[in-house]
Structure 1
């Protein structure tokens, strides 16, 4: 692996660590998103507090910072397309979760992971999106949709690989497993509140702060 191709991995971490939710909430909404609502810097909390005109761009930017490193690695270094795009994508997700700009704290990685696997495993991410939207629509919890989507990601990737009869990409599969487990861990307090019946639906004005 050349220096140039290797450098895309830490560069992806830096891009992933840019806290768009925090920045847009601060400069366009005049609030510290970490101290409001759920305390999360993601698009869901931004939308709840400041509306979709700010929240939707945050969502797109968080998705883009997952997809862009994968696309650039894939097309700039086609000779390393077997593993480099995946490494860049995972690095971007880690940057989002452990942003050095926020003292190595960040979001839960859902939107950024979506961007990564939208490029690497579009069929699986489509199924994941359907699961997310269905659970959110039926039960009204964004957190439940995220949890369900996280569980669906590795299962759908494995299932589609069998159905389509394509060569099984082991690194991508294990990446979906690791990302899924990470997202589930970061939603552990949400899961506890869901079990206890204390989680608020997405249209409520009062929210529990994340305890991580």
Structure 2
């Protein structure tokens, strides 16, 4: 359908559907299915995979990680297939925003790292995989999930530039800023040296 990806009405629909997909709180769903209690009352209270890991269930944390990253990737891939690249970026951004500000939880969602990584992989897999590699190396070396998130988010824009995906830089920059904003309490703890290690209860 020529020119459809630039239609504001279609992009608005893509944004709405992407947001709804992204707002599904898989961390809460998984912990309830695994009978691990209310995730919002465990550890940091966050609904992401890192906090699910604090329940002691690695399988629940892995399922949450895959589902949270998958919803960003799925939103991008469907939008790209139907409407094109502009719609893919809109869908990815909307899914990310849905995850961190879900209407179902009074806009108190996760910190967006897994959804961000899934979105980046679907938009430009070399950039996404490189960003994941930065996260993994930082996490292995420091054992601090939030620091790995911040370092990998900060690395995404230069990675997009040097890997030749410059059309992705603006979106990556915007989502990275939101990741830093959502991690502002973690940044304060990092500065004080009190940020917990991966798997350690807060």
Under a length normalisation based on structure 1, what TM-score does the superposition of the two structures give? Answer: 0.87
Q: Contact 2:11–2:90 at 8 Å: present in 1 too?
A: no
Q: Contact 1:9–1:88 at 8 Å: present in 2 too?
A: yes
Aligned residue among 79, 82, 106 for 1:73? 79
What is the aligned residue count? Answer: 196
Aligned residue among 137, 157, 164 for 2:160? 157
Q: Secondary structure at the match of 2:85?
A: coil
Say yes or no: does 1:116 pair with 2:119: yes
Q: Contact 2:14–2:90 at 8 Å: present in 1 too?
A: no
- Between stretches 48-57 and 32-41, larger displacement belongs to 48-57
Question: Matches of 2:15 and 2:197 in 1, distance apart?
Answer: 37
* 1:147-168 C-alpha deviation (Å, 9 max, x unpaired): 111111111111222xxxx7x4
Say yes or no: does 1:82 pair with 2:78: no
Question: Matches of 1:8 and 1:137 in 2, distance apart?
Answer: 37
Question: Matches of 1:182 and 1:55 in 2, distance apart?
Answer: 23
Shift >6 Å, 4+ stretches: none
Question: Matches of 1:118 and 1:175 in 2, distance apart?
Answer: 13
Q: Secondary structure at the match of 1:198?
A: coil
Say yes or no: does 1:32 pair with 2:46: no
Q: Secondary structure at the match of 1:49?
A: coil
Say yes or no: does 1:195 pair with 2:198: no
Q: C-alpha root-mean-square deviation of aligned residues, in Å?
A: 1.6
Question: Matches of 2:68 and 2:163 in 1, distance apart?
Answer: 26
* 1:23-52 C-alpha deviation (Å, 9 max, x unpaired): 221232241111111111001111221411
Under a length normalisation based on structure 2, what TM-score does the superposition of the two structures give? Answer: 0.91
Q: Contact 1:25–1:50 at 8 Å: present in 2 too?
A: no
Q: Contact 1:67–1:115 at 8 Å: present in 2 too?
A: yes
Say yes or no: does 1:129 pair with 2:132: yes
Unaligned runs of 5+ in 1: 208-212
